[in-house]
């Protein structure tokens, strides 16, 4: 069984790299759709059934149900693969089509489809699709049926399911996916048996999970635990400014505070059409350009206000963050400076210093670019942002009156969409506003700003948010809770771990008031975390699970909640959960991850998204805690002193880690098969073997093997279990991070290019490997394999 499952996992893993270098068709031909892989998969399921009957698993009904459900799922998949078919058809408005392309061949349908109308909906003022619908007529002999098909809303007809797949480039036709799936009912039956067996088995008093919980509840690991700011110095850059500019900055810093708040309450239309407070865009601009939340003591609104009103002064102020020393040298800047002025990017003739470099780097494939070359593209983007702010083109704050697409424009393009009277009025108020800010007459500027706000409400009323939504978004960004929670999580987590190790090694219990205080803090922090997630969900209009940043902050929440709710007796567990939550939040706030709130693409506008993704990311929290607990047990096994107390601690940590792995695997399996249901109901296929779902499949196999290690009594030991538990988490990291950054066409492994791994990841990985090695050496010296008592 282990050999077969290992072959499945390794084969799929290799296929993801083959696909990255040689394309999907090659990976499918040699692995996913190959005969040998199907044979191995079939043999694995047959072996599972043989083991189930040999061990009389049917006497434990729930365990038998979810193990044998894989056989039912395999039968359903076979029926779909060998007796069903799926194809696509493109139809222009007014045309009729009675055939569908299946694997490059035209296959006749028992009915014909005529496209009456194709309708594309877009987000206001953007080209980004919000949804698309095909209004079709089905002709079947003497019958005629008027129907419509939309994204996430397919129709069924005579055993066929018709999906809205895409649309023609000129948007005058539709692309429909049509499939016939004879294995659907059997497959869904297998899913139902799997879900029922897994969930009920967790609650069954004789299940492995409940046995572990009883052991944990009788342990005496530790006391109850329920549950910095980095400052950027800008003095060096500011000291080189002229006395006039320095005085201007002082006046602007003190005088524009009240006006900047009012300025931030203007609405602006984002590139994807979302109407949001200008305060939000200004935060994004400052974070992108300076990688900081403030500049020379000024907030984001004050900086953008200055760029807009005094571009000739601000082009001399260092505000663009530059990391590469090679780029600094090219810009004729000292290697010690952190930020460079806008004018430093242009020579005395006004020519852009990075123009040739940007052209050369842009022509390179993504995986061919070095860190300095990537920095050049980032700097080019920052320079462009500053330029667009200075010209006012980035600030699309003026709604075009009576525009059917509800487009908003910046300070230049808006004049083409106004009548003469409207142009005169708006030019007067907008120019008077800029002039007043230029003259540092901030009170007068406030009056003109009110006129601009009135123009927004009058001509953009159809898409203008309500006051509560505006206030909610402003408060969400003002509180900025997630970075603060990150610091507190990490501090409390490290403190708790230190106390837990102290108690284990010294066999002393720390005063109870400290544990109670930490408990109260942890619960309050989790409430704050949940509140911040709820606020983001309200502001965005969807569950915060749609991109990398949102999923990371959600994983952090589930990690902390899992530790505080499921193992309240262990200081190691609760501290690990806080630490894991802090680590995920730390990763979420790396500069490479964008926290911007965006609109959803049409296919993600589904209830299945919230259910499928939330279940999967909650499993990551359980796996993360299990990894940390196993790592801590390895540390205890590596210490030179061995006492009865430490031995019990190691056993308890092993039980806790296994319990969390069982919960994590249960959620990961259910989440992935819920995703299969979503995929089948939305676009007609259960599984596409894309790298993300393939590595989730590998993670499921890996953790299934780790959980069943205890059955291999000839080789089983505590150190082996802990080592495998730690290493297994690499499949989760690969599923979440590796696929996004190394299997997305950004790197070619066939050319031998180096894999760029963050330095912090290398350091952490090295520490883990050192601890594992020390634990194995220590256990070997003890002359025992450390087999757990009572393994069953």
Report the pLDDT averaged over residues 598-624. Answer: 75
Please give the angle made by the CA atoms of 738, 743 and 745, to the nearest 5 degrees: 140
| Residue 591: per-residue pLDDT | 66
- Check residues 122 and 697 and name the one with the higher pLDDT: 697
| Residue 386: per-residue pLDDT | 93
Q: How far apart are CA 769 and CA 766, in angstroms?
A: 5
Query: At 566, which helix (H) or strand (E)?
Result: helix 548-566
Using alpha carbons, list the distances in angstroms from residue 45 to 40, 75, 182: 9, 10, 21
Report the pLDDT averaged over residues 390-419. Answer: 85
pLDDT in tens, 724-737: 999 999 999 888 77
* pLDDT confidence bin for 528, thresholds 50/70/90: very high
| Residue 226: per-residue pLDDT | 27
At which residue do the structure tokens 């003026």 appear?
398
Q: Taking 90 as the threshold, does the pLDDT of residue 698 lie above it?
A: yes
| 660, 625 contact by CB (below 8 A) | yes
> At 306, phi and psi to the nearest 5?
-70, -45
Q: How far apart are CA 415 and CA 423, in angstroms?
A: 6
Strands 105-122 and 275-277: unpaired
Instruction: Specify which of 284-298, 536-550, 599-613 reaches the highest per-range mean pLDDT.
Output: 284-298
Start-end of H helices in 294-419: 300-309, 311-314, 325-330, 355-362, 371-391
* pLDDT confidence bin for 321, thresholds 50/70/90: very high
Mean pLDDT for all residues in the chain: 83
Task: Provide the angle, in degrees to the nearest 10, between the axes of the packed helices 481-506 and 644-683.
Answer: 150
* pLDDT confidence bin for 403, thresholds 50/70/90: confident
Structure tokens at 44: 């694995």
Report the pLDDT averaged over residues 429-446. Answer: 91
Q: Taking 90 as the threshold, does the pLDDT of residue 402 lie above it?
A: no
| Residue 604: per-residue pLDDT | 62
Percent of the chain clearing pLDDT 70 (strictly above): 87
Residues 6+ apart with CB under 8 A from 56: none
| Residue 787: per-residue pLDDT | 45
Residues 6+ apart with CB under 8 A from 50: none
Q: Taking 90 as the threshold, does the pLDDT of residue 747 lie above it?
A: no
Using alpha carbons, list the distances in angstroms from residue 653 to 133, 293, 706, 719: 54, 41, 15, 12
Using alpha carbons, list the distances in angstroms from residue 582 to 446, 478, 486, 574, 585: 41, 20, 5, 12, 5
Q: How far apart are CA 210 and CA 232, in angstroms?
A: 50
pLDDT in tens, 327-377: 898 898 888 888 999 999 998 888 999 989 888 888 776 656 777 888 888
Task: Provide the angle, in degrees to the nearest 10, between the axes of the packed helices 184-203 and 644-683.
Answer: 160
Q: How far apart are CA 216 and CA 241, in angstroms?
A: 64
């Amino acid at each position: 069984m282990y050999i077969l499952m290992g072959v499945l996992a390794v084969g799929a893993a290799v296929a993801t790299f083959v696909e990255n270098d040689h394309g999907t068709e090659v990976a499918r031909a040699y692995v996913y759709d190959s005969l040998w892989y199907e044979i191995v998969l079939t043999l694995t399921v047959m072996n599972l059934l043989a083991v189930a009957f040999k061990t009389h698993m049917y006497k434990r009904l729930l365990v038998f149900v979810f193990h044998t459900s894989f056989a039912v799922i395999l039968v359903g998949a076979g029926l779909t693969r060998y007796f069903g078919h799926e194809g696509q058809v493109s139809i222009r408005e007014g045309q009729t089509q009675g055939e569908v392309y299946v694997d490059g061949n035209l296959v006749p349908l028992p009915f014909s489809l005529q496209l009456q109308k194709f309708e594309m909906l877009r987000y206001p003022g953007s080209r980004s699709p919000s949804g698309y619908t095909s209004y079709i007529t089905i002709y079947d002999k003497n019958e005629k049926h008027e129907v419509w098909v939309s994204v996430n809303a397919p129709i069924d007809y005579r055993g066929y399911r018709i999906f809205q797949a895409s649309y023609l480039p000129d948007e005058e036709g539709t692309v429909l996916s049509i499939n016939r799936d004879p294995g659907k009912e059997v497959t869904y039956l297998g899913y139902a048996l799997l879900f029922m067996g897994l969930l009920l088995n967790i609650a069954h008093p004789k299940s492995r999970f409940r046995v572990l919980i009883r052991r944990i509840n009788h342990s005496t690991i530790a006391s109850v635990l329920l549950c910095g700011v980095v400052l950027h110095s800008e003095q060096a850059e500011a000291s080189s400014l002229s006395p006039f500019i320095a005085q201007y900055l002082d006046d602007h810093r003190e005088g524009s505070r009240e006006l900047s708040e009012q300025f931030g309450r203007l609405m602006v239309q984002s590139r994807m059409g979302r109407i949001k407070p200008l305060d939000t865009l200004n935060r994004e601009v400052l974070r992108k350009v300076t990688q900081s939340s403030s500049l020379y003591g000024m907030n984001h609104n004050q900086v953008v206000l200055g760029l807009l009103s005094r571009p000739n002064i601000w082009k001399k102020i260092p505000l663009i963050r530059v990391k590469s020393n090679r780029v600094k040298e090219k810009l004729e800047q000292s290697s010690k400076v952190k930020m460079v002025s806008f004018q430093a990017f242009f020579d005395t003739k006004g020519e852009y210093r990075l123009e040739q470099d940007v052209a050369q780097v842009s022509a390179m494939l993504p995986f061919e670019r070095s860190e300095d070359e990537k920095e050049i593209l980032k700097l080019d983007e920052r320079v462009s942002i500053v330029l667009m702010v200075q010209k006012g083109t980035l600030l699309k704050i003026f709604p075009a009156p009576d525009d059917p697409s509800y487009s908003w424009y910046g300070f230049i393009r808006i004049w083409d969409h106004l009548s003469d009277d409207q142009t005169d009025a708006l030019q007067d108020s907008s120019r008077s506003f800029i002039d007043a800010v230029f003259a540092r007459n901030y009170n007068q500027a406030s009056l003109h700003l009110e006129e601009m706000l009135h123009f927004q409400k009058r001509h953009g009323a159809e898409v203008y948010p309500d006051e509560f939504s505006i206030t909610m978004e402003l408060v969400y960004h003002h509180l900025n809770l997630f970075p603060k929670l990150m610091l507190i999580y990490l501090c409390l987590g490290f403190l708790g771990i230190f106390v837990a190790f102290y108690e284990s090694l010294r066999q002393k219990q720390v005063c109870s008031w400290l544990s109670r205080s930490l408990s109260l803090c942890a619960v309050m922090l989790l409430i704050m975390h949940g509140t911040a997630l709820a606020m983001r969900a309200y502001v965005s209009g969807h569950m915060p699970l749609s991109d990398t940043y949102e999923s990371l902050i959600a994983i952090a929440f589930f990690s902390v909640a899992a530790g505080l709710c499921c193992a309240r007796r262990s200081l190691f567990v609760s501290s690990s959960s806080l630490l894991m939550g802090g680590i995920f939040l730390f990763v979420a706030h790396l500069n490479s991850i964008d926290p911007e709130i965006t609109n959803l693409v049409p296919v993600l506008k589904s209830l299945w998204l919230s259910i499928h993704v939330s279940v999967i990311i909650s499993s990551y929290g359980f796996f993360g805690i299990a990894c940390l607990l196993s790592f801590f047990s390895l540390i205890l096994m590596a210490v030179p002193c061995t006492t009865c107390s430490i031995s019990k601690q190691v056993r308890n940590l092993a039980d806790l880690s296994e319990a969390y792995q069982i919960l994590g695997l249960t959620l990961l399996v259910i989440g992935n098969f819920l995703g299969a249901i979503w995929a089948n109901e939305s676009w007609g296929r259960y599984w596409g073997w894309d790298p993300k779902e393939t590595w989730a499949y590998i993670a499921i196999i890996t953790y299934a093997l780790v959980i069943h290690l205890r059955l291999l009594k000839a080789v089983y030991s505590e150190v082996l279990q802990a080592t495998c538990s730690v290493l297994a988490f690499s499949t989760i990291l690969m599923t979440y991070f590796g696929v996004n950054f190394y299997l997305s066409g950004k790197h070619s492994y066939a050319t031998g290019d180096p894999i760029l791994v963050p330095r912090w990841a290398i350091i952490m990985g090295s520490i883990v490997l050192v601890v594992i090695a020390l634990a194995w050496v220590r256990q070997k010296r003890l002359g025992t394999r450390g087999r757990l008592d009572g393994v069953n």
